[in-house]
């Protein structure tokens, strides 16, 4: 039947990979996120991109459209990409470790004019400790003296148009940065010259201002994720969910912003969350997401959902969340679960994250 054919062709049911952006201050993390979020300026359309709680969702359609020039259409199997909005957050230092623990893949941003800096190395150590997959965005290539801009072009095409002086400066800085990575014990290479994918980490030169290299970055993120972590990205029924923030919202009381990494959440689900004074057991009163991009200005109002499927950024409203701790896991109580067991499990997270973090 048609349905069987479909399941044969599409392989396992994959969820969207979750990506976070790390790097030293001022390397362009926020700008890069803005740039990949940018709507098709000419058409003024959001292309299905949705702003979520603490994250932005890019449907595969949008990625396909923006990577057309790279001719990789058929290879996209995931429904989209969920990018966590940690840059610019006032608690970024805490979120950096939290954010990275729920991410499948990271973008490590390095300023081509500055090379590896202190927080680059901190981020790098975090990624190494977690054995995490990441891609280096070698950002601000447009700052190379004499750079000719070709907005949103694939990087190879953009580099071809440069004068020899620009190419030389680019190569010199790239070589220096590859050496700096080597000093940190990591092999890196330009992604289109990388012959040992997996052993050697990929570098994608980018400009968050004029968009060169952004198509490459998007495509590589999705392709690399689906190639190396099919099992991890296979959709399961078990809920995997992390609390990003605890926030008081007018009209809703204390809410928690979570990233639903896998599984489904339903309105009414009984949940267990880690609290300052012990486990919190409550029921989901509302599952909320912001309005689509265009309507983002409708402030303070959210879309209500009966259920939401991973991966997504979600706001949960429920009673008794006042002392919930950000950075910990949320569990859904199923009929066969032992509540006391879950309560113990949930509290083990506090040890993992160290001092409880309270975000006002
Ligand atoms: P963050 O601290 O890593 O989030 O960095 P921001 O995104 O706030 O960027 C820091 C500064 O660098 C801002 O003034 C940006 O406009 C600028 N910037 C970021 N990306 C680029 C880039 O690709 N090219 C140029 N020329 N400037 C950039």
Among 20, 21, 22, 26, the mutation site with the greatest number of ligand 1 atoms within 8 A of its Cβ is 26
**Mean pLDDT calculated for residue range 14-31:** 91
pLDDT grade for 53, boundaries at 50, 70 and 90: confident
Our answer on whether the CB atom of 31 is closer than 6 Å to any ligand 1 atom is yes
Q: Whose CA is nearest to atom 17 of ligand 1?
A: 28
pLDDT band at 237 (very low <50, low <70, confident <90, very high): confident
| The pLDDT of residue 336 is above 90 | yes
Report ipTM for this prediction: 0.99
Residues in the chain: 360
Quote the CA–CA distance of 60 and 67 in Å, as a whole number. 10
Residues 202 and 188 sit within 8 Å (Cβ to Cβ) = yes
Expressed in angstroms and rounded, the spacing between residue 14 Cα and the centre of ligand 1 is 33
User: Which residue in 326, 303, 318 sits closest to 253, CA to CA?
Assistant: 318
Closest CA to 221 of 83, 105, 91, 345: 105
Ligand 1 atom with minimal separation from the 31 CA? 7
Report the pLDDT value the prediction gives residue 193, as an integer from 0 to 100. Answer: 96
- Given a cut of 90, is residue 150 above it in pLDDT? yes
Are 187 and 196 in contact, with CB atoms under 8 Å apart?
yes
Cα(202)–Cα(234) distance, integer angstroms = 24
- Nearest one of 82, 63, 76 to 11, comparing CA atoms: 76
Q: What is the pLDDT of residue 294?
A: 47
Asked whether 149 and 143 are in contact (CB, 8 A), the reply is: no
Q: Is the CB of 28 under 6 A from ligand 1?
A: yes
Does residue 16 have its Cβ closer than 6 Å to ligand 1?
no
Taking the centre of ligand 1 as the mean of its atom positions, its distance from the CA of residue 30, in whole angstroms, is: 7
> Is residue 62 predicted with pLDDT exceeding 60?
yes
Q: Give me the mean pLDDT over the 283-302 stretch.
A: 73
């Amino acid at each position: 039947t048609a349905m069987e054919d479909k399941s044969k062709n599409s392989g396992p049911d994959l969820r969207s990979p979750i990506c976070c952006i790390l790097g030293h201050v001022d390397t362009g993390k926020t700008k890069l996120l803005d740039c990949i979020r940018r709507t098709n300026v000419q058409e003024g359309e959001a292309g299905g991109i949705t702003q979520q709680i603490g994250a932005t969702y890019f449907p595969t359609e949008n990625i396909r459209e923006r990577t057309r020039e790279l001719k990789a259409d058929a290879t996209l199997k995931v429904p989209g990409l969920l990018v966590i909005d940690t840059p610019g957050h006032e608690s970024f230092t805490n979120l950096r470790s939290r954010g990275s623990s729920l991410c499948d893949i990271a973008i490590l941003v390095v300023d081509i004019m500055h090379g590896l800096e202190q927080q680059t190395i901190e981020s790098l150590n975090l990624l190494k400790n977690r054995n995490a997959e990441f891609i280096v965005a070698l950002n601000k290539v447009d700052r190379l003296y004499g750079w000719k801009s070709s907005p949103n072009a694939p990087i190879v095409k953009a580099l071809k148009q440069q004068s020899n002086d620009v190419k030389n400066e680019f190569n010199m800085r790239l070589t220096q940065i590859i050496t700096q990575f080597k000093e940190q014990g990591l092999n890196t290479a330009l992604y289109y010259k990388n012959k040992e994918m997996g052993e050697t980490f990929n570098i994608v030169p980018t400009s968050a201002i004029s968009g060169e290299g952004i198509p490459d970055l998007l495509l590589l993120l999705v392709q690399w994720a689906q190639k190396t972590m099919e099992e991890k990205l296979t959709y399961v029924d078990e809920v995997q969910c992390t609390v990003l923030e605890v926030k008081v919202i007018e009209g809703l009381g204390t809410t928690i912003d979570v990233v639903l990494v896998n599984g489904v959440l339903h309105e009414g689900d009984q949940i267990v969350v880690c609290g300052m004074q012990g486990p919190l057991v409550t029921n989901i009163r509302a599952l909320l997401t912001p309005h689509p991009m265009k309507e983002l200005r409708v402030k303070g109002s959210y879309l209500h959902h009966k259920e939401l499927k991973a991966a997504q950024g979600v706001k949960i409203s429920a009673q008794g969340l006042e002392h919930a701790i950000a950075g910990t896991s949320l569990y859904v109580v199923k009929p066969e679960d032992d509540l006391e067991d879950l309560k113990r499990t949930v509290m083990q997270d506090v040890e993992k994250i160290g001092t409880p973090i309270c975000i006002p």
